[in-house]
Amino acid sequence: MSAVAFVVVATLMLTGCASRSDWAVYESAPGFFSGLWHGWIAVFAMIGHLFDNSIAIYSVPNNGGWYDFGFLLGVGAFGGTAGAAAR
């Protein structure tokens, strides 16, 4: 395993276990960019959810259509690259 791959995997594992700080919580509901981010990390969130039920894959409540649109784009971006890599 290359050093870059090791650093990437270690960073993802360490940041995935970070706890939420109250100062980082916004008053407004998650929107498009939060949905996009949650779509990109949906696979990793699902793996984490298998071991810890407090990890959510989808943010509820959210602002509705824009969050959903971002989430679908994020999931599609990951799924599209995975399909292209399989060829």
Give the pLDDT confidence score for residue 26 in this predicted structure.
59
Non-local CB neighbours of 33 within 8 Å, separated by 6+ positions: 70
**Over 60: is that where the pLDDT of 46 sits?**
yes
* 13 or 63: which leads in pLDDT: 63
The amino acid occupying position 84 is A
Non-local CB neighbours of 65 within 8 Å, separated by 6+ positions: none
| pLDDT range class, residue 22, cuts 50, 70, 90 | low
Give the pLDDT confidence score for residue 73 in this predicted structure.
92
Look up residue 24 and give its DSSP letter.
Answer: G
